[in-house]
Structure 1
């Protein structure tokens, strides 16, 4: 039976803390006020969104999932006088599937099933996915030449990225994957809308389960 760690509760708001030090720090604010500690901005203060490049849709995204079997584990009898975790099963990955989604290229789902119980499926997953990502890089590393609508560009007065008025820094912004003209933009906004240097991989239940299957291989 695993030993439970003691928790320290604040009697004002009933939040739990792992250590007495963190509880003491919390009480400094909590005991002298209502359970909600509201901090208001100074009079006249304002905030403004500036990271417009984070609105850019990622050009490629990977959706992946593993399938595993449970293999019984034979262990020695633990010492009942000490705390212990009784491990009786091991999760063995036997296959996976991933799909690369993009608006610029067509992909088919990739599936793989282990040929035997001892095959390192997690390593196979990393190798196959890495190969596909490198292939994407080589096909897209050189930007496409802009397909320009000059008449439209001349008429535009606001930056299509941030929405503010354009000045002497007005430039032509285009998609580096297709070459299509996206709109007039400030020079700085255009530079921030660059191709991302990563491809996100989304898993079903990654933090709760799948990550321990392949993280060492990664």
Structure 2
């Protein structure tokens, strides 16, 4: 409203207290941009002689000179440098700075960090996502068109019919035990309430398997030979070094041995505790039936 350009920067502690852009204004103005530094303060409370984090409080400080704040971060030259407030690149000449600033404003929505020679190849690192989810639900709902007797309403439209849920079906897929997988369906005007109760029951069933501790099976002669002779990690598929300690990776639901793994790979390869529910056309049509039932049965 005041024709101001305000950019917000923060401190990234994982990168050695590096100043990074958090919000870059899309407003264009002839006025000079205002730069703010957002500082975070943790709030702790003492509960049972243990400091517990309750949240964070944020303060904003005015950056009077962006070059003075970031000069030591981007170059070894500690004097004045021309900085692009979007990508934090520095320039020595006015002409090159103006050309870059025009292109960067129109193209870059945030800071662009180019990879170095060591990290120039994108690699998959979240190996725990290689593991399929143990449980998944696939569902669909069908409705009937019901005529409306009372067509009076406050809107400038005429109501002739309404959609009434008539039937619903779902399939529970278990990744490690086919006997747990099942298909169920229900017909009637109470089908949505029936489905929400089914989800609650499924959550209790799944909780039993997620909390159950299954010990690893005893390795036979062939498995022991494969473990001691393994040169590649079963999880990250990288070679073992002489300093690495091999760990026996196994399925936590069945106890079956899977292969040799690094210590960190074995610890980080965790099972998902989230049950994905894949619902046909949920966002476009069916969601309001389910949300209405959830609010009525579980919130109020």
Q: With structure 1 as the length reference, what TM-score do the two structures score?
A: 0.71
**Structure 1 unmatched ranges of 5 or more:** 1-23
Query: What is the root-mean-square deviation of aligned Cα atoms in Å?
Result: 3.1
Within the alignment, does 1:110 sit opposite 2:184 as a pair?
yes
Partner of 2:129: 54
**Aligned partners of 2:133 and 2:175 also within 8 Å:** no
Tell which deviates more after alignment, 52-61 or 66-75: 66-75
Deviation at residue 159 of structure 1 after TM alignment: 1.2
Deviation at residue 124 of structure 1 after TM alignment: 1.1
C-alpha distance in structure 2 between counterparts of 1:52 and 1:183, whole Å: 15
Deviation at residue 139 of structure 1 after TM alignment: 4.1
**Aligned partners of 2:132 and 2:175 also within 8 Å:** no
Q: Closer, same or farther in 2 for the Cα pair 1:86/1:153, shift >3 Å?
A: farther
Show the 5 A alignment for 1:68-217.
68-73=143-148, 74-76=150-152, 78=154, 84=156, 87-105=159-177, 106=179, 107-114=181-188, 119-147=189-217, 148=219, 149-166=223-240, 167-217=243-293
Give the secondary structure class of the aligned counterpart of 1:190.
helix
C-alpha distance in structure 2 between counterparts of 1:86 and 1:187, whole Å: 67
**Structure 2 unmatched ranges of 5 or more:** 1-24, 30-101, 295-300
Deviation at residue 199 of structure 1 after TM alignment: 1.1
C-alpha distance in structure 1 between counterparts of 2:215 and 2:192, whole Å: 39
* Runs (4+) off by over 6 Å: none
Greater RCO (Cα-Cα under 8 Å, separation 6 or more): 1
1:165-209: per-residue Cα shift (whole Å, max 9, x none)?
224332111001111111111122111212211111111111111
More strand per residue: 2
Deviation at residue 40 of structure 1 after TM alignment: 8.2
Deviation at residue 64 of structure 1 after TM alignment: 0.6
Q: Closer, same or farther in 2 for the Cα pair 1:189/1:216, shift >3 Å?
A: farther
Task: Provide the aligned length of Structure 1 versus Structure 2.
Answer: 186
